[in-house]
A and B are shown apart, each in its own frame.
Chain A
Amino acid sequence: QVQLVESGGGVVQPGRSLRLSCAASGHTFSMYAMHWVRQAPGKGLEWVALISYDGTNKYYADSVKGRFTISRDNSQNTLYLQMNSLRAEDTAVYYCARDLGGYFVRRLFDSWGQGTLVAVSS
């Protein structure tokens, strides 16, 4: 059974940094592209970033481009999101999600973690 467990969320001041982690188990992590998706309180879902199965290709939403960096360590079955220059509007629950397509990216999310809350506030 696929399991994704996020960690690293918390309260942070505007302009500061935070790194999220997502520990994967129950599947061959290195065979799948992975995503971060976020949900602001009481709002809908927003895709944040995508990384290919081997980490060579990365894509970002315009709202986070230049501030967030997605990465992965396939030897540790872990996905990361480095978030710099945080803003109030980045406040959200951040989910890691597995891409349905495996090696072939489909930008469909077939397994999700339970999320970690990031609150940006002074």
Chain B
Amino acid sequence: EIVLTQSPGTLSLSPGERATLSCRASQSVSSTYLAWYQEKPGQAPRLLIYGASSRATGIPDRFSGSGSGTDFTLTISRLEPEDFAVYYCQQCGSSPTFGPGTKVDIK
């Protein structure tokens, strides 16, 4: 099973700042198979990025993804108030797994 780790556990930033979230896999993952989700309290997760760098329908362009192999990054260029949430990476192999999440909270 591919294990995903995310860092940092919590990221404290102010609106307007840039957020950089990391996801590391225990073994190489095809870029095609790496996704990112956003989860807000009391809501279901929302798909943000798939294929490591493709934005899902309706996702603003301040969200971007990059990376390959075992290291992937989600970047939020300028944090909006609605972006404070928990972010999960996911690998889409035969047995999908999620990372433990990074919480982005207001500084």
Contacts and interface: CB of A to CB of B under 8 A. Distances in A.
The interface residues of chain B, by DSSP majority, are classed as loop
Given A44-B88, A44-B101, A45-B98, A110 B47 contact: yes
Nearest to B47: A110
Interface in A38-86: 44-47, 59, 61-62
Nearest to A61: B95
Interface size bracket, B side: 20 to 34
B47 A47 contact: no
A49 to B, nearest CB: 11
A47 B97 contact: yes
B100 interface: yes
Contacts of B37: 45, 109
A12 interface: no
A114 interface: yes
Contacts, number: 49
B45 interface: yes
Contact of B47 (A44, A45, A109, A114): A109
A112 B35 CA distance: 15
Most central of A46, A106, A113 by chain B CB within 10 Å? A106
B45 A44 contact: no
Nearest to A109: B47
Given A100-B50, A106-B92, A107-B92, 7 more contacts: A45-B88, A59-B94, A61-B95, A100-B47, A106-B50, A107-B94, A108-B35
- Going nearest first, the 3 A-B pairs with the smallest beta carbon separation are A112-B44, A107-B92, A45-B98
Interface of B: 33, 35, 37, 43-47, 50, 56-57, 88, 90, 92-101
